[in-house]
Amino acid sequence: EVQLVESGGGLVQPGGSLRLSCAASGFTLSSFWVSWVRQAPGKGPEWVANIAQDGSAENYVDSVKGRFTISRDNAKNSVYLQMNSLRAEDTAVYYCARVSGGYDVVDYWGQGTLVTVSS
Amino acid sequence: EIVLTQSPATLSLSPGERATLSCRASQSVSSYLAWYQQKPGQAPRLLIYDASNRATGISARFSGSGSGTDFTLTISSLEPEDVAVYYCQYRRTFGGGTKVEIK
C-alpha cells in the first residue's frame, strides 16, 4: 500500500524555520517526482515545490523561492522541505504528494502536517 | 500563467441527481487536466487524469470530458458520500473549487 507520512509541522514565529519530512513506503520512491502542496485554511491547494527522481531538478513557486528548499534521500525513502524566513502567509497544511506522469498529476497524497506562523 | 476558473462555486442537489461541474482554462491545456475530490478534514484524492481517465478505484459514477479550454466533471447520480469540494488542476495550477452539497 502506498503511504506518505508527513511530520515536522507546528507553531513557529515569523522569521523562523521548520523542516518538514515525508516518509514514503509501499513503492519505489526513486522512480517518482515528489511535490509539496499546501492548503491555507479555507482555501484551495497551492503547489509549492517539486523534485526529480534523483534530486537533479527542483522547482518552486515564486512566493517561496530563496526561502524554501526541497530535498530527498531515496536511501531513507524520505523527502524534505526546509522552510526558512517563514511568514504568516505560509500558514497552511502541507501535503507531500507523489507525482504520476509528466504533468504534475498527484496520484497519492499524505495526510498533511499543519504549519502555523504566528507570534 | 494559466488560470483555471471553476463554476459554480456551490452546487446543491438532491440524491440521485446528476452533477455537472465546469473548469475553464485561460488558454489551451490540451487534455492535461485532472480532477480531485476533497472531503472535509481529508487530503485531496485523484478522480480523473488526462481529462477523461478515471484513477484507480474511482467509481464509474464519475466521468470527465473536454479538451482545450473547457472541461466537465460529471457525477451521474449523486450520493451523500459525494459531498466534497472538487478541484481541477493543470500542472502546478489548481482551480478555485466547486463545493457539492446535498439538499
pLDDT by residue (tens digit) across A47-65?
A: 999 999 999 999 999 999 9
Chain A environment of B95 (Cβ under 8 Å): 44
Q: Given this model, what pLDDT does residue A101 score?
A: 77
**Terminal-to-terminal C-alpha distance of chain B:** 37
Contact between B101 and B81 under an 8 Å Cβ cutoff? The reply is no
- Averaged pLDDT of chain A: 97
> Hey, are the CB atoms on B91 and A103 less than 8 Å from each other?
yes
Rounded to whole angstroms, the Cα distance separating A79 from A94 reads 13
**pLDDT mean over B59-75:** 98
Is 80 exceeded by the pLDDT of residue A102?
no
Question: For residue A109, what pLDDT band results from cuts at 50, 70 and 90?
Answer: very high
Chain A environment of B49 (Cβ under 8 Å): 100-101, 105, 107
Q: What is the pLDDT of residues A28-45, one digit of tens each?
A: 999 999 999 999 999 999
* Chain A, nearest residue to B99 by Cα: A44
Question: For residue B10, what pLDDT band results from cuts at 50, 70 and 90?
Answer: very high
Chain B environment of A105 (Cβ under 8 Å): 34, 46, 49, 89
Distance of residue B4 Cα from the nearest chain A Cα, in angstroms: 12
The torsion defined by the Cα of B42, A103, A99 and A45, in degrees rounded to 10, comes to -30
Integer-rounded Cα radius of gyration of chain A: 13
Contact between B58 and B64 under an 8 Å Cβ cutoff? The reply is no
